[in-house]
Structure 1
């Protein structure tokens, strides 16, 4: 006959294991960005979920809805943001636009060549904008897109403003 304390001991260890397994938070997309040499503040706090394929570098980030945030300029995050993530860069970005002098331009790439420089580069097609890395330390709060300005990255002209 098996003593009663042995099954109870197994149940106790199983309970403790499950508690610690579930209480450990899964890595966030912000943790992934840091691990890849990019600042966490490139994406808003309101990220609902994300998928990352380590083999091909495809990163897909999901928000509940498009939203606006402000770094140095206003940026619009679509409800799905896609990019190829490698160390220090996001390339082929889709779903992120930046306002430049009242024109919304798609962000095509984001690069941190040398973290010690304190500079991050945004490729907005015609121009490479330099920003201070300090602007992107913390994930920004994102406000729902207001109906007055709407950008569509799928616009044939590459950018557009609709009122």
Structure 2
């Protein structure tokens, strides 16, 4: 795949988690944003910001502080930059009975304690950033 050309790839759960957390940290995103399991690989192309995560199974995670159920597909892709992930694929948040895909995640800059999730339908939800801290 051309998007992955020149990318750094880490294989397996331990190395994959380390890389995913390092990317979130580097780009100013909350460290608990991607509760991943059974990681096959994590990759990142610094020149374009393209990142991908492959995991053995889908993961559903409930963020307790905001009572929000989020589904992470076996393949998650997107473009990561300062305080933001754009063109995100593979992440859905439960809204009533629907699972709209999350297309963009943005953290306020300068930090104001808020994180914004935008669906492809243009719906934006805002939550306290600490709801996505590591261990949530």
TM-score (norm 1): 0.66
Q: Does 1:42 align with 2:38?
A: no
Alignment of 1:34-73 (within 5 A): 34-46=25-37, 48=39, 49-71=41-63, 72=66, 73=68
Q: Aligned pair 1:128/2:124, yes or no? A: yes
- Aligned equivalents of 1:47 and 1:132: distance in 2? 28
Runs of 4+ in 1 over 4 A off after TM superposition: none
Unaligned runs of 5+ in 2: 1-13
**Post-superposition offset of 1:127:** 1.3
Q: Matches of 1:112 and 1:86 in 2, distance apart?
A: 11
Check conservation: 2:37, 2:59, Cα contact below 8 A: no
1:112 aligns with 2:107: yes
Counterpart secondary structure, 1:50: strand
- Give how far 1:64 is off: 1.3
Relative to 1, partners in 2 of residues 1:118 and 1:47: Cα closer, same or farther, differing over 3 Å? farther
Contact (CA 8 Å) 1:47, 1:61: kept in 2 or not?
Answer: no
Aligned length: 116
Structure possessing the higher radius of gyration over alpha carbons? 1
Deviation at 1:128, TM superposition (A): 0.7
CA distance in 1, matches of 2:98, 2:134: 26
Structure with more strand by fraction? 2
Select the structure that is richer in helix.
Answer: 1
CA distance in 1, matches of 2:123, 2:28: 23
The TM-score, its normalising length taken from structure 2, stands at 0.78
How many angstroms does 1:115 deviate by? 5.3
Q: How does 1:136-155 map to 2 (within 5 A)?
A: 136-138=132-134
Partners of 2:30 and 2:129 within 8 A in 1: yes
RMSD of Structure 2 on Structure 1 (CA): 1.7
Q: Specify every segment of 5 or more residues in structure 1 that has no aligned partner in the other structure, as ranges.
A: 1-24, 141-163
